[in-house]
Amino acid sequence: MKYWVSKHRLVVLTALAYAVTLALDADLFWVALGNMWLYVREMLEILPAVFVLSALITVWVPPSVIMENFGASSGVRGKLISVLVGSVSAGPIYAAFPVTQSLLQKGASLGNVVVIISAWAVVKVPMLIVEARFLGIEFAFARYLFTVPAIMAIGALVAARTSRDSVLQTGSEPGQEEPAEEITAALPGLNCGACGYDGCRAFGQAVSAGEQDPDSCTAADEQTRERIRAVRKKGEAHRNGPDRG
């Protein structure tokens, strides 16, 4: 129970705030509840499509494609692609998080994920059109000229200060075994059979169970192998660690 409260402390604090508001001012409570319902309804309309898109990225896009265009070695080109993806996206900013989580799990760098989220928030194409209409095209392009480099710099700073593995591990339950699907998602997805297994899924299950070494995948680069080792190590720590109540 203590762990659940700690993990969901934001929900608990929000519920307490609503309870205090109800006790102090019932009218204000109902206004706040109505506003909350507006946001919930918006999320119910948007998030199902976002989750479908995230699932399609996870299943259909090979990790090699993600790593080539969004990985740590993608360089400036990866940053520019990330700005483009964020700027042509649709929906409110919170819709960016499930999508970027899927990209991160498939091999995107933390810096490029930050760039996508930031571009989604402040340099979307529809925003440029509205901004130019009310504030002028010169103002809009000047802001974009300074905003895009700033976004790239922020991405580099976050990547330098934050561990990618710590972000990937966020939300995992203590004692929960790491699923073989996460290892499979990190593999190149070629299903070439060079490892001796029928495909990447069978090989991922063997690695997850400790029956095979990640180095047996000759199609994976060293960054992919390191990530798989980290995933397997975390799974072993969860299995061997003490239970929490």
Q: What is the mean pLDDT of residues 112-137?
A: 89
CA distance 58 to 48: 15
CA distance 229 to 204: 11
CA distance 219 to 231: 18
Res 147: pLDDT: 94
Least confident of 2-16, 77-91, 178-192, 214-228: 178-192
CA distance 216 to 212: 7
Q: How many helices (H) and strands (E) does the chain have?
A: 13, 0
Name, of 5-14, 28-37, 43-52, the range with top average pLDDT. 28-37
Residue 101 has pLDDT above 50, yes or no: yes
Q: What is the mean pLDDT of residues 165-172?
A: 66
Could you tell me the residue ranges of all domains in the chain? 2-58, 61-168, 172-240
pTM: 0.61
Which pLDDT band holds residue 31 (cuts at 50, 70, 90)? very high
Least confident of 54-58, 77-81, 231-235: 54-58
Q: Which two tokens stand for residue 34?
A: 């109505």
Long-range contacts of 122-129 (CB under 8 A, 24+ apart): 122/147, 122/151, 123/83, 123/86, 123/87, 123/147, 123/148, 123/151, 124/86, 124/87, 124/88, 124/89, 125/87, 125/88
- Between residues 173 and 111, which one has the greater pLDDT? 111
Give the 3-state secondary structure of residue 212: coil
- Record: fold of 172-240: 3-methyladenine DNA Glycosylase II; Chain A, domain 3 (1.10.15)
Helical (H) or strand (E) element with 20: helix 9-24
CA distance 83 to 125: 11
CB atoms within 10 A of CB 235: 21
The answer to whether the beta carbons of residues 219 and 188 sit under 8 Å apart is yes
Amino acid at 45: E
CA distance 61 to 102: 10
Give the 3-state secondary structure of residue 88: coil
Res 237: pLDDT: 60
